[in-house]
Amino acid sequence: MSLADESYNWYRGAAIGNRRAYKVTETLALLVAASIPVSAAIWPRSAVVPAVLGAIVVVMTGARSIFHSQENYLRFSRAREAVEAERRLYRTGSAPYGNRATRDAVLVANVTAIEREEMSGWIGIASQQPNITRKDRS
């Protein structure tokens, strides 16, 4: 059960952290983007401030494809809930945890399968190629 508890706690913390990161970065990106026309109105003869703010928005938008906070939050939340479901079944002795002789091994196998599935999801996200339009070379 300690393996399931550790897994649950890790996914819980990771989900919360990624949810916060997503909300903070998206809010900041909106605020910086909204400040571009305001800065142009305040300093109409200078393009420096709007250009710098625009560059910041571009960097923040690009960071989305690097850190995947929203996708991580969703994946970690899904894994956390799957582990929690297994913990509940284990605690109550419900199927597949009815046999005391095998229940620990079954729990380890099921939690490991959840972790493996989540890792596959991460690999899928991490291996995505950016959508770059290439000219047909034929």
pLDDT at 129 over 70: no
Q: pLDDT per residue over 23-36, tens digit each?
A: 999 999 999 999 99
Q: Indicate the domain borders of the chain.
A: 2-126
pLDDT in tens, 33-63: 999 999 999 999 999 999 999 999 999 999 9
Rg, Å, the chain Cα set: 23
Please, which residues have CB within 8 angstroms of residue 83's CB and are 6 or more apart in sequence? 4, 7, 8, 11, 111, 114
Q: CA 95 to CA 88: how far, in whole Å?
A: 11
Q: What is the mean pLDDT of residues 61-68?
A: 88
Q: Rounded CA gap, 103 and 108, in Å?
A: 9
Mean pLDDT of 118-122: 89
